[in-house]
Structure 1
Amino acid sequence: MAQSDDVYDETGVNDSQAYLNDDSQFADDGHTLQVKDGNGDRNIAGESNRDAGEEKTGAGGGEAMIGHGEFFDPDGDGIFSPFDTFNGFRALGYSIILSIFSAMVISTMSYPSLPSGHWLPDPFFRIHVKGLHKAKHGSDSGSFKRDGRFDEERFDEFWDSHTDAPHAEITPFQLYAAVAERRLAYDFYGIFAAIFEWLATWILFGYPSFHFDFKLAFEKIRKLIFGKDRITVDAADWRKLLADTLQKACSGGNVKKEDVKGLYNGMAFYAVMDSQADAGNEWAKSLKRKHEGNPRRYL
């Protein structure tokens, strides 16, 4: 796919280069557009090269959101129900209460995921895997594009801006700040969905190593309120002191970058399920048997 020469000036500069981050600048088949300069044709180095490579790999590519949902569709019919979601969360090691709550929340994606031409909602709140991209919400990290592709550059930008070097993991407080800072005005569902998703991620990967020193927190708070060195400060300062105290009482609970990336394309689900099955989780064993033969597990 090539653009005509009349969109370039005599210097060979494309006037539309400011819009290189727009998906519409690239061919539907994932190939780069061609531009002409004084030395002949050349490829625009940018998003399309990455997308084309991701499409070929499958994992983490154009089917990232589909892979994210396929874990909950072990029979491979392209649809999963709230009961399938419940089974999936139990196989990942979540409690019964959290699994029921998660199934209820995720079932809200049923209507947006309907195939084109379907207007009536599914009475059973089933979700169509290939339509998951239409359930994309606001106030998120921006790592999923509107068509369900995973954008690694946007994810890296989000991650690096909220973590400390070498940016290998994110702390619970950094994760809270990241979610809070990306809230959009009046986006009530998007904010709730972002909190739910990141909290579920933290419970899965961060909570097992998290420790809170109640004794240390109690002593520090007691000294702040009743100690001889207590000071009178305004409400904002008190909130900062309280946050610092709570942060010092926390240890562990960090989430690794690679684990989060694995959730975006769904590969981490299978690794956790296998681990849970090895640990004796009967839900994981059952779901693992249903997933046998699913080639996505080995990408």
Structure 2
Amino acid sequence: MAQDEEDHLSITAKKCSVTSKRLPATYIDSYIKNPGVARTNVVDGDGSESSMKDFHEFTPMQQHILFWDRDRDGQIFPYDTYVGFRDLGFNMLFSFVAVLIINLNFSYPTRLAHSYLPDPRFRVYVDSIYKAKHGSDSGTFDPEGRFVPQSFEDMFSKYDRDHDGALTFGELFEMMHGNRCAADPFGWGAAFFEWVTTWLLIQKDGKIYKDDLQGVYDGSLFWKIKEARKSGAGWTQGFGLGGDGFIGSVKVA
């Protein structure tokens, strides 16, 4: 968008300095149609290698978790969560902690679409994962689990200080701080776990790149990582520290 056109958009306010520090993305309508409209696919069309074309009947938020629904029964058991994190290369301890955080906290919200009674098996229900959306997040998923391109691009417009299409660890923390809602400790904790896990999984040269992060949102990158770890090359990104670190072995047998 031309500068004179941008000047007509009221995106800063003199009496609120943070509006000048965190500028929303005002340029993306040149390559994304209706970027503010929430949609049911992260990647438009089936041509892209990263497209989740086999799962287009699901919302992006559902696509994000289908990797853990191993038997496609619409329910993610604690063991499914554990095995999924192990398949991604996380060690046993981290995978166990992930089970505690995910299944203990998100089982009941997703259960509410089926019953008011808690699930004794702590399953997470794929069809109602939108009920597990928490506060203090980026807003890239809307309350129904659709993907909002404007919010995704805003993350980089606001916090990618050197404009290289990637976020450093420090910029991620700045974003988490900027997204915090008042009196929302659960949302703060959930966001922290999600972004630290993402960092450990996909960082490259100390940064999280936009294309990789897009693949996290629709889950396509999880399948890519699993296949890479099964291959001879292995998965070369992430914070791999061998068996003693957060990420375990580089390959899957």
TM-score by length of 2: 0.70
1:167 positional shift: 3.9
1:114 positional shift: 1.8
* 1:255 alignment partner, one of 188, 196, 208: 208
1:56 positional shift: 7.4
Q: In structure 2, give the amino acid aligned to 1:260.
A: L
1:54 positional shift: 6.1
Q: Give aligned pairs, total.
A: 197
Aligned mates of 1:199, 1:59 — CA distance in 2: 24
1:133 aligns with 2:86: no
CA RMSD of aligned residues (A): 2.6
Aligned mates of 1:54, 1:254 — CA distance in 2: 21
Larger of the two Rg values belongs to structure:
1
Extract unaligned runs of 5+ from structure 2. 1-32, 46-50, 235-248
Q: In structure 2, give the amino acid aligned to 1:277.
A: K
Describe how 1:38-53 pairs up with structure 2 within 5 A.
Answer: 46=34, 51=39
| Cα offsets for 1:269-298 (capped at 9, x unmatched) | 00111111125769945xxxxxxxxxxxxx
Q: 1:254 to 1:148 in 2, by over 3 A?
A: same
1:184 positional shift: 1.0
Aligned mates of 1:94, 1:201 — CA distance in 2: 12
1:69 aligns with 2:65: yes
Match in the other structure for 1:113:
110
Aligned mates of 1:53, 1:136 — CA distance in 2: 17
Q: In structure 1, give the amino acid aligned to 2:207.
A: N
1:47 positional shift: 5.7
Extract unaligned runs of 5+ from structure 1. 1-44, 210-251, 286-299
Q: In structure 1, give the amino acid aligned to 2:221.
A: A
1:201 positional shift: 0.3
Contact kept? 2:111, 2:128, Cα under 8 Å: yes
Contact kept? 1:111, 1:122, Cα under 8 Å: yes
1:170 aligns with 2:170: no
TM-score by length of 1: 0.60
Match in the other structure for 2:20:
none
Of structures 1 and 2, the one scoring higher in RCO (CA 8 A, sep 6+) is 2
Contact kept? 1:90, 1:283, Cα under 8 Å: no
Contact kept? 2:231, 2:251, Cα under 8 Å: no
1:175 positional shift: 0.9
Identity of aligned residues (%): 32
Match in the other structure for 2:179:
182
Q: In structure 2, give the amino acid aligned to 1:106.
A: I
1:100 positional shift: 0.4
Aligned mates of 1:148, 1:52 — CA distance in 2: 8
Which structure has the highest helix share of the two? 1
1:164 positional shift: 2.9
Aligned mates of 1:117, 1:92 — CA distance in 2: 30
